[in-house]
């Protein structure tokens, strides 16, 4: 919020994207090594649980159904803190989307990621963001 206050929302988003893109490459490398992960959706689910982003959000759900993994944040204290300060929701869709795109490309390029819900999108109170990971058809 400090960067946003000092330089504006657009600058904060740009800086946030740059930092998270860099972090995605580092995290995927070390998580795969640390947990001896392969490249399937079960292993992606394990890796996603331990990303710095996910660790910061304990209220999350992960579902795997066939060739699809759904990852959702059900309680976002970052956005709630903004609301308490009477700030609008932070438009984190591009930030998180770029982070997850790089993370997944490095994890397994045969997995696609798409956003189902993420601010600035309208969302129910119990889902702040939801991302869908799908194995590409061979």
Residue 47 burial class via C-beta count within 10 angstroms: exposed 0-12, middle 13-18, buried 19 and up: buried
pLDDT beyond 80 at 8:
no
State the Cα torsion 76-79-85-88 to the nearest 10°. Answer: -150
Please tell me the predicted confidence (pLDDT) of residue 132. Answer: 98
Q: What is the pTM of this model?
A: 0.87
Full set of structural domains in the chain with CATH: 2-135 (3.30.1380)
The pLDDT tens digits of the residues spanning 101-133 come to: 999 999 999 999 999 999 989 999 899 999 999
How does DSSP classify residue 134? E
Please tell me the predicted confidence (pLDDT) of residue 114. Answer: 97
Calculate mean pLDDT across residues 8-16: 76
């Amino acid at each position: 919020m400090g960067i946003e206050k000092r330089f504006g929302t657009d600058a904060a988003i740009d800086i946030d994207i740059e930092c998270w893109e860099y972090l995605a490459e580092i995290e995927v490398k070390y998580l795969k090594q640390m947990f001896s992960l392969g490249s399937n959706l079960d292993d992606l689910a394990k890796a996603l649980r331990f990303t710095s982003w996910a660790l910061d959000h304990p209220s999350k759900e992960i579902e795997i159904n066939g060739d699809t993994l759904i990852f959702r944040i059900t309680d976002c204290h970052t956005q709630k803190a903004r609301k308490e300060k009477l700030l609008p929701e932070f438009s984190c869709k591009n930030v998180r989307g770029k982070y997850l795109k790089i993370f997944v490309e490095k994890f397994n390029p045969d997995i696609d990621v798409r956003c189902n819900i993420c601010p600035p999108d309208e969302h129910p109170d119990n889902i702040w963001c939801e991302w869908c990971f799908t194995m590409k058809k061979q």
